[in-house]
Every structure is written in structure tokens, then in C-alpha cells.
Amino acid sequence: MAENSQPPNNDNQQEIEELISSLPKEKWWRGSGLTLYQNFWVPSDFIRGVITLRRHFIGRDSNILLASKPKTGTTWLKALAFSVLHRAQFRPSVANANHPLCSSNPHDLVPFLEIMLNGQPAGHVPDMSGFTDLQLFATHVPYHFLPESIHQSQSRVIYICRNPLDTALSSWHFWAQANLEGGAGDWSMEEFFENFCKGLDFYGPFWDHLLSYWKASCERPERVLFLKYEDLKEDTARNLKRIAEFMGVPFSKEEELDSVVDQIVEMCSLSNLKELDVNKTGDIFGYENKTFFRKGEVGDWANYLSPSMVERLENIMKEKFSPFGLYFTLKKTS
């Protein structure tokens, strides 16, 4: 689709509301809910934004979209990608108190499209006039939920995934800490795990979400970059160079000699981000900023999941991923 393509006409708002009311719904933890839309469990609070994104968002060739399932490294990827893209404007260094990461949570710097569009009237072409200068966006929706303007344009998508065991554990910890209505910490790991395996989770099923981007990356590697959290943790600098190259802003030899890559890695490390005052206080999306920064370890699942849980997830991984050539090496924390 060309950059100046015209957006589609507005939908009938009543039709959208009737569609939403007809969709299956499930109660989620502590007052929130999930809505089953096109075989994925979308947070009920964001369903209008997801529909608006799918039907009406007009992507541009310059757009870079960071995609992920929740709790797979989204916050870290946002910090890294923002710092890479804007490194000429904002010197990346832990000593630079004027860098936007020192005053803003990564989720403020790289907005989620479906949340940004959620406040728009359902069924209406969104008013994007206030976001014309933005190049970097994020989303939690599966690949085929993205609008045709993204698929048909030269937009680039970076997807980060994480092994299912650590994803399940990190998700449970997040919801146990999140400040939502209805109480706190009353959902056992066993109950959460059961729902996770059934696909009843934010933007679940996990397997289908991940495979939607994996298949796209195999078909269009020049437009969809598929990253594993574990690889990014193991060699952050090398993968940061891959990200920069894919985004169209590769590091120069001079920048590498000046340790710009290492400075971004250090500045965006979990240990640095979680100690910033902006991430110790305040909230975003109704969650305290600090809940987005826990351990970030690879293999922490071994400290929480029972052998039967591990076996169940390993069997699901083999069934869902192996036919498509996707594998995870499961490591335990030392």
C-alpha cells in the first residue's frame, strides 16, 4: 500500500458494538476479562482498539513495529530499539541524565497501537494527526491481526519471543504484583499454569501467537525479524547490531570503536532500568512501573515449575513448534 493511501470508510458503530457483545468472554484475574476474537483471547478493555487497529490503521513504509506476547521481553526491546533509533539525538550513556529513558518508562516512549487507538470511537477511522512524527510503535496482537497497510507496505516488524516456561512464570509473577481491582495475589501458580496451557491468557494461545510471527519471518525475513529473548540475553551486543541493521540504522565502524553499542547495552540493561527513579514510582496502563522489572533471568522456571508442569509444556512445545522447525533450548538458572 502506498504511503498516501486513503483510509477505509467508517464502520457502523452499532455493528461494532453488536460484534463485541456477541463474542465469547471469560473472567480473568481480579476484575479484568478476556474476549475471544478471531481465535485469540484479547483483553476486554482493549478489544475496541484491536478492532480499530486491524480495520483502520494506515501503516507507513517508515514504520517500525515491535511485536510481542506479554512478558516476553517487551519492555527491554522497547528500550533497546528506542535508544538505537534515536542515538544521534540522545547520547546513549548511563551518565546522560537527559536521556528520555531517565525520565520516561519505555512504554511511554514506544506506545502500543491497540491501546493508543482504544480511546477512539469504535468503528471510526482513528485520528492519527498527533502521531505523524512517530516512527516506532508496539503491539501485542498476533501477526494476522495487523492491518493490510502493514502487510502491504515496507513497514518492518521486530518480534521478540521467550521460551514458554519462563513466559508462564513471568506472567504469573506480573499478575500477582499488578495493581488490579479485586484483590491481590490470590491466583495460584497451578491455576494460572492450567489457563496458560489452555491458551486462556492475554493474547493467547501463546503457541499460535508465536507461530504467526515465526511463519511470517520465514516468508518475509526482510520485513519480519524474529528474536528469541534467550539469544538477546546471551549476546546482547551482537543481537543489538542485528536490530539496528534491520531497522535501517546500522552502527558505523566509528560508533563501534566509540563503544556506542556497549553503552546502549549497559543503559538498557535490566539492572540499570529498574534502578531509575521513573521505574520505581508511577504507573502506566493502571500498573505500577516497577512491576515491569523483575528478574529477567533465563531458566528461572526451574525454581517454580514442578516436573509435571515442565513435562506438559515440553510436550506442547514439541507438538506445536516442531512441525515448523522452531525449537527452544531450555536452560536452568545456576
Catalytic residues: 140
Euclidean distance between CA atoms 310 and 101, whole angstroms:
36
Euclidean distance between CA atoms 23 and 41, whole angstroms:
10
User: Are the C-beta atoms of 300 and 169 separated by less than 8 Å?
Assistant: yes
Euclidean distance between CA atoms 9 and 76, whole angstroms:
37
Instruction: Report how far apart the first and last C-alpha atoms of the chain are (Å, whole number).
Output: 49
For 122, the grid coordinates are: 469504535
Euclidean distance between CA atoms 218 and 238, whole angstroms:
21
How long a stretch of residues is the chain? Answer: 334
Euclidean distance between CA atoms 312 and 304, whole angstroms:
14
Euclidean distance between CA atoms 39 and 142, whole angstroms:
10
Euclidean distance between CA atoms 188 and 190, whole angstroms:
5
Euclidean distance between CA atoms 230 and 163, whole angstroms:
8
Cis peptide bond upstream of 205, omega within 30: yes
User: Are the C-beta atoms of 102 and 91 separated by less than 8 Å?
Assistant: no
